Structure 1
Amino acid sequence: MSKTILLNSKIVNDCKLNKAKAQMQLYDMYCDAMFIIAQRYVKDNFVAEDIMQDAFIKVFKNIKKFKGEVTIGAWIKKIVINQCIDYLKKKRIELVAIEENNIAIADESDWTVNEEVNINIVTSAINKLPEKYKVVLNLYLIEGYDHQEIAQILNITEVTSRSQLMRGKNKLKSQLKTYNYA
């Protein structure tokens, strides 16, 4: 086992024993990355920070349930994403359902992008999208959830997930075209 894995394992075990120093170490190790994840879902940095803080409170309350089936970072990330989704649900973001026969699947091959595009430009463009599209885009493109999982997380149908993804991609593409990036 590598030194990092052993250190992480010790920190997690100490957190399970409710040791404040270990909790602070775990927080310090993951807070920046988790804040960035929260920012993907909410535009307001203060709200993202609150969500991240609430997620870590949940992490420390439930750390005894952590079985090590995934990395501690992946486990924390899932909690942060769920906190973001809960926040957005409380805001009552309306995800509009459409009939399945009205869906036109976007052709993935029509995504040509200017060579000047980088991750910062794409992230910035995603952040400017309406929240209902941004959430599905983040869950699908960045977090790697499939439509069935997104439907369960957001309590929507798979058809709605697909339609929101398609609409979000189209808005993202037109936004990038506006800046001559697509």
Structure 2
Amino acid sequence: MKQEQRINVDLEEIITKYRPVITFKVIKAIGSHTPEWEDIVNEILANVIEKIRQKKFRGESTIGTFIYTITQRRIIDYIRAKSKSLTQVPEPKPYPSPLETLEKKELSHQIFQAIKKLKPKYREILYLYYYQGLSREEVAAKLGISSKKVSERVHYSLKLVKKELKTKK
């Protein structure tokens, strides 16, 4: 029982003395802007306590050196994990060129003009389905028709728009 109390007192002293040192090293290595730095410090302290309780600290070096080694290894592990996750992120798509932007605007304008030429029942179905994002069932309920009829009208409306776009080219 006396030995267990001594270990607890020593552990408390170690935490009190080395937490600021560990915190400084972690923040210096990964930055204070990284939200995980506090978790890393706590993991390091938990690891130190666990290794001391498992008698892995044999006293061949100072306790400071022992803690420094654990800290450095945890920081390296964190940086490796972050660099792996960064390399797995896909490259962002490049910004469209001015020509691509212009072509897209022109196509949008042509589609808008083609839709304007449709009969109102076909225009309305496209508006509800694509622009308001309603499901086929919701469009059917709103217009008082079957969802099969909605599907048919959407398909036919798109066919008419495509036909109009082909005649423009």
Q: Normalising by the residue count of structure 2, what TM-score does the alignment of the two structures yield?
A: 0.37
Compare CA radii of gyration and give the structure with the larger one: 2
The structure whose RCO (Cα within 8 Å, separation 6+) is larger is: 1
Identify the structure with the greater helix proportion: 2
